[in-house]
Amino acid sequence: MGEFHGVRVGDQVISPIDWEMNPALSFGTYESWGGRERVRNNNECVYYFFVDNWGKEPKLCLMERAVKHAKVMAEVKAPPEIIRDCVADQGTSSIFEKSYAINDRIKKWLIDNVLDGGDSRLVVPRVDTPVIEDMGPQLPSAAEKSFTQEVVSLPRVGAIIQDEQLQGIMEKWNFFDLEQNPSGRFENSFVAGNDPDVVVDRKTSLMWQRRGIDIGSIRLMRKSIAELNEREFCGFSDWRMPTMEEAMSLMEPVKNVKGVYLDLCFSKEQPFIFVDAQRKPGGYWFVDFKQGRAFWSSGTIPGGFGRLVRSL
């Protein structure tokens, strides 16, 4: 991480600043499954400066990044000319690439003027308004929505899956996977369950959590499932991790407005979930609704989220 520096944001002193982190590296570390192996702790936050060029004028900002969130903490009122010079240094970039690493000139200005007891008036905290997640329109009841299709019986027992078997699974059931089967589309038939926290897919005869379990290791996930069943979540005690096929049946072929490949009736707060499948020769399988694919990783840190299912 190199030099240790701190910055005051309102009443909070944030330290250390990670000078090596930037938007591109952040994506590789927190969004790309391979990078998650480098995360030491699910509660660890990394702080770095970046240039935001999405608006009319570029801004210098401070980012807080962790496994579960990315939050702009503050805007730093740096001289506009040095921010514009940093943008100019990027050359021609994609319309989707408007967040840039800072250059040495901005770093020196920050150290000289803002960090370690510098002028905190130059740091303007970002005030976030709480957002209530859009869970989509009210689902019809089973009585209100006719269903005449044939029920699809997906595998309901955990499996050991080799890498070379993955594409065959996606093609067999016509699941969408951005890498393995980008033309796939599995049609669901969602209706309201007996509780607002669950939804029923009559196509597969499965009941799903609309939200789920927070991120954790495979060991903690199994413990959470046992506790949830002991409490009889929504009146049932047979909740379990979905199989690969069951989880992939939820994958939509396009991202919704919340940025995940899911029906709006599901929360975006469980972007990648454990499935009841181990990888041969090693690892655990996950389904990533943010990246639109299945992937494997370790079952420890950071682990995964849970979205549980039960058979009807």
Q: How far is CA 88 from the centre of its chain?
A: 31
Q: Please report the pLDDT score of residue 31 as a whole number.
A: 59
What are the sequence ranges of the domains in the chain?
7-125, 159-311
In this predicted model, what pLDDT tens digit does every residue of 115-149 receive, in sequence order?
Answer: 999 999 999 999 877 889 999 999 999 999 899 99
**pLDDT confidence of 64, banded at 50, 70, 90?**
very high
Residue 33 confidence (pLDDT) above 60: no
Q: Please report the pLDDT score of residue 42 as a whole number.
A: 64
Q: Please report the pLDDT score of residue 296 as a whole number.
A: 94
State the pTM of this model: 0.73
In this predicted model, what pLDDT tens digit does every residue of 232-268 receive, in sequence order?
Answer: 999 999 999 999 999 999 999 999 999 999 999 999 9
In this predicted model, what pLDDT tens digit does every residue of 294-305 receive, in sequence order?
Answer: 999 988 767 899
Q: Please report the pLDDT score of residue 35 as a whole number.
A: 46
Report the C-alpha gap between 167 and 185 in whole angstroms: 14
**pLDDT confidence of 96, banded at 50, 70, 90?**
low
* CB-based contacts of 177-180 (< 8 A; 24+ apart in sequence): 177/248, 177/251, 177/292, 177/293, 177/294, 178/291, 178/292, 178/293, 179/293, 180/293, 180/294
Residue indicated by tokens 């399988």: 285
Report the C-alpha gap between 132 and 205 in whole angstroms: 29
* Cβ 81 vs Cβ 88: under 8 Å: no
What DSSP assignment string belongs to 4-61?
---EEETTEEE----SS--HHHHIIIIISGGGGGG---TT--EEEEEEE-SSSS-EEE
What DSSP assignment string belongs to 52-78?
E-SSSS-EEEEEEE-SS-EEEEEEE--
